């Protein structure tokens, strides 16, 4: 076999594999996540481009899936945390309104958190803080007030009007709220 033919065969095989994996990812997008198109559009807009290399885009989308579904190390993804949060709301109309808000908030956080580390403004610590405080808000039945604070903070982080270090648990539930026996 001639070397040029071997190289061409290798390139074509790799291209087909990449194409298959991209196609498979599109077909196998988890049903419990918002539409894949939302995240593709945000990815392109954040980078101010009209198209992306399929393998780069798919690598990004893997982080979106991890955010929502969790991982072995962090099993409480946004889906699980949101379900528990919504289960703490008794009134059906309130639950429906909050479900819309928490869905939109998840999309906003996921789109920023999944960016490359050197450009993202929402990090793992923020997400963990919000998850912990989300549980507390459910325990204290102040879900709406809490979500309003987080919505504001997420937008402020994204537009750089809030410093990353200002996000901690005490921002939402100050330690003086507790009786430190």
Task: Write the pLDDT tens digit of every residue in 80-126.
Answer: 999 999 999 999 999 999 999 999 999 999 999 999 999 999 999 99
What average pLDDT does the segment 134-158 reach?
A: 95
Residues 97, 32, 57, 5: what is their CA dihedral angle, to the nearest 10 degrees? Answer: -160
- Whole-model pTM: value is 0.81
Q: pLDDT class for 9, splitting at 50, 70, 90?
A: very low
Q: How far apart are alpha carbons 25 and 31 in whole angstroms? A: 12
Q: How far apart are alpha carbons 81 and 79 in whole angstroms? A: 6
Reply yes or no on whether the pLDDT at 178 is more than 90.
no
Q: Which of 64, 40, 51 is closest to 113 using CA atoms?
A: 64
Residue ranges of domains in the chain: 1-30, 31-177
């Amino acid at each position: 076999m001639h070397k040029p033919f071997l190289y061409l065969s290798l390139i074509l095989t790799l291209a087909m594999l990449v194409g298959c994996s991209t196609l498979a990812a599109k077909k196998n997008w988890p049903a419990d996540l918002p539409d894949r198109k939302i995240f593709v559009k945000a990815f392109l807009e954040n980078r101010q481009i009209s198209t992306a290399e399929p393998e780069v885009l798919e690598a990004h989308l893997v982080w979106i899936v991890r955010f929502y579904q969790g991982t072995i190390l962090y099993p409480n993804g946004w889906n699980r945390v949101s379900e528990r949060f919504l289960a703490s709301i008794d009134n059906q109309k309130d639950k429906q309104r909050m479900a819309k808000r928490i869905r939109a908030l998840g999309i906003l956080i996921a789109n920023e958190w999944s960016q490359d580390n050197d450009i993202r403004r929402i990090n793992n610590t923020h997400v963990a803080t919000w998850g912990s405080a989300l549980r507390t808000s459910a325990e204290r039945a102040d879900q709406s007030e809490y979500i309003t604070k987080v919505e504001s903070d997420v937008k402020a982080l994204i537009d750089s009007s809030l410093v990353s270090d200002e996000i901690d648990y005490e921002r939402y539930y100050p330690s003086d709220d507790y009786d430190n026996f």
